[in-house]
């Protein structure tokens, strides 16, 4: 079934077509939501909301781009907008994880790469972190990121470059381990 | 000149390798997603779609900032209106319950999106629309409250007025449990679970992290926020709220 056939069926309210559209995109949306929040409940909330809104907005799709591109743009925007509203929540999660790490593993004197990497990514400015997670972890292209964030492609590239530079500094002690 | 160029090239290659190594490590360890709960999420999406088809757009916002404005006045007003309208329409009638052309009544969809079998008019578990409106408003407010409770609990910044708000919500929950809204088995079970959690929050002693943790874990294990959202998404009465 091609995009226009699928779109016609979804617009006609065909539940099977809606499910097919959902299945085609849900892993990627949920993956991004989880990577950004680190919280299953929040990731589910954002993903559900993203699809509800995407289906509700489907009548605005004009066919200027591929349906999958449009779907990714809408759903990712919903996830990222939702994240801005609960930035406070993310901070609490980080504190909670740190507290748990301190309380639960006193034997380890030095943090390992995994801990330092998490701290370094969490410590990136929001814009850098978003682009790094989307591009280097989840495999979004700069065009997709630019579409979802409503910024120029060059901005996405610049933010990724700065994010990587910061991580290089933060993780310099682990250079051998990183490139091994 | 050539040496400098070679050094730059070498540096760039090392940086690329480093960046690639960081990305690989991040993919493997940074908030690695569990298996996508496809069906669970689809049930909520489908329920919201069904509600939208039945009665218009349903706007499900996952996290709403709890606003400590005098919302209890709105809840109380909704309940009073619900009681007044409900009493006026009890015993069946076109305004008392959602009537369907074939002479049956429409009951809310369940959490998994499947609609229970239609029941004959006058069946014991028919909930008049006015009570469903009151219930939907109450669920909406309670979801806001519990969401902010979880966020604030994790930040260790619980509001001093928490107990007061919880007490008001608890009173309204009990009112609804004893009202015709409590006839709906799904709603009744949800109100029952809400009553338990709200009572725990009312009795919460200031500065007791263990109690807060127990409540938080209870919210998680009972999937109360998820069920609250699903119940709202399936209630046509929520349209426009």
Helices A113-122 and A153-170, axial angle in degrees (round to 10): 140
The answer to which of A54-58, A123-127, A163-167, A176-180 has the lowest mean pLDDT is A176-180
3-state secondary structure of B119: strand
Q: How far apart are CA B218 and CA B216, in angstroms?
A: 5
Nearest CA-CA distance, residue B194 and chain A, Å: 18
With a cut of 70, say whether residue A47 has pLDDT above it: yes
The pLDDT of residue A23: 92
Structure tokens at A146: 């630019």
B120: Cβ contacts below 8 Å, ≥ 6 apart: B103, B104, B105
Q: Could you tell me if A103 lies within 8 Å of chain B, comparing CB atoms?
A: no
Nearest CA among A87, A97, A51 for reference residue B63: A87
Inter-chain residue contact A41 with B225, CB threshold 8 Å: yes
Range of the domain at B226: 33-238
Are B33 and A37 within 8 A, CB to CB? no
Give A104-144 pLDDT, tens digit per residue. Answer: 544 444 568 888 999 999 999 988 999 999 999 999 999 98
B151–A88 CB contact, under 8 Å: yes
Instruction: Please indicate whether, in this complex, the C-beta atoms of A52 and B42 are within 8 angstroms of each other.
Output: no
List all residues of chain B from 162 to 221 with a beta carbon under 8 Å from chain A.
Answer: 220
Flag whether B115 is in a domain: yes
Q: Report how many domains make up chain B.
A: 1
Looking at the domain assignment, is residue B28 inside a domain?
no
In chain B the first and final C-alpha atoms are separated, in Å, by: 70
- The predicted pLDDT at position B52 comes to 67
Which regions in chain B score pLDDT beneath 70? 1-12, 51-126, 155, 157, 159-161, 206-207, 233-241
Q: Taking the domains of chain A in order of start, what are their residue ranges?
A: 1-107, 109-180
When comparing pLDDT for B210 and A27, which is higher? A27
Query: How far does the CA of residue A17 sit from the closest CA of chain B (Å)?
Result: 12
Distances (CA, A) of A109 to A106, A123, B231: 7, 21, 48
CATH for A109-180 (1.10.10.10, 3.40.50.1820, 3.30.420.40, 3.50.50.60): 1.10.10.10
Q: What is the DSSP string of B32-91?
A: ------HHHHHHHHHHHHHHHHHHS-----S------SSHHHHHHHHHHHHHHHHHHHTT
Residue A90 has pLDDT above 60, yes or no: no
Q: A1-107 maps to which CATH number?
A: 1.10.1740.10
Sign, CA torsion B216/B220/B221/B224: positive
Check residue A142 and give its pLDDT: 94
pTM: 0.53
Residue ranges in B114-184 assigned as alpha helix (H): 129-154, 162-177
Which residues of chain B are within 8 Å of residue A167 when distances are taken between CB atoms? 19, 22
Q: CA-CA distances (angstroms) from residue B171 to B137, B199, B202, B228?
A: 14, 10, 11, 18
What's chain A's average pLDDT? 81
């Amino acid at each position: 079934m091609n995009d226009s056939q699928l779109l016609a069926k979804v617009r006609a309210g065909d539940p099977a077509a809606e499910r097919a559209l959902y299945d085609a995109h849900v892993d990627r949306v949920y993956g991004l939501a989880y990577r950004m929040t680190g919280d299953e409940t929040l990731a589910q909330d954002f993903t559900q909301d993203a699809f509800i809104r995407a289906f509700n907005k489907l009548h605005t799709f004009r066919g200027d781009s591929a349906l999958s591109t449009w779907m990714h743009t809408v759903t990712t925007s919903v996830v990222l907008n939702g994240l801005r509203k609960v930035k406070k929540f993310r901070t609490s999660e980080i504190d909670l994880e740190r507290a748990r790490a301190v309380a639960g593993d006193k034997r380890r004197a030095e943090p390992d790469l995994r801990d330092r990497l998490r701290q370094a990514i969490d410590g990136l400015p929001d814009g850098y972190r978003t682009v790094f997670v989307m591009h280097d972890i989840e495999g979004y292209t700069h065009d997709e990121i630019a579409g979802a964030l409503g910024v120029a492609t060059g901005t996405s590239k610049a933010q990724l470059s700065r994010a990587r530079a910061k991580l290089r500094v933060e993780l310099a002690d682990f250079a051998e381990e990183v490139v091994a | 000149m050539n040496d400098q160029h070679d050094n730059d090239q070498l540096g760039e290659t090392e940086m690329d390798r480093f960046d690639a190594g960081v990305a690989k490590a991040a993919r493997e360890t940074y908030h690695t997603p569990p298996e996508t709960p496809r069906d669970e999420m689809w049930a909520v999406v489908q329920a919201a779609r069904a509600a939208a088809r039945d009665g218009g757009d349903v706007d499900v916002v996952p996290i709403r900032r709890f606003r400590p404005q005098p919302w209890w006045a709105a809840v109380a007003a909704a309940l009073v209106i619900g009681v007044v309208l409900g009493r006026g329409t009890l015993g069946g009638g076109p305004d008392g319950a959602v009537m369907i052309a074939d002479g049956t009544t429409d009951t809310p969809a369940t959490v998994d999106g499947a609609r229970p079998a239609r029941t004959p008019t006058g069946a014991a578990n028919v909930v008049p629309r006015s009570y469903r409106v009151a219930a939907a408003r109450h669920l909406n407010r309670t979801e806001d409250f519990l969401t902010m409770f979880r966020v604030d609990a994790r930040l260790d910044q619980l509001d001093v007025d928490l107990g007061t708000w919880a007490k008001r919500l608890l009173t309204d929950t009990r009112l609804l449990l004893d009202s015709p809204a409590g006839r709906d088995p799904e709603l009744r079970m949800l109100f029952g679970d809400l009553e338990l959690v709200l009572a725990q929050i009312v009795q919460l002693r200031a500065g007791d992290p263990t109690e807060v943790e127990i409540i938080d874990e209870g919210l998680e294990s009972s999937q109360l926020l998820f069920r609250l959202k699903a119940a709202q998404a399936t209630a046509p009465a929520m349209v426009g709220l």
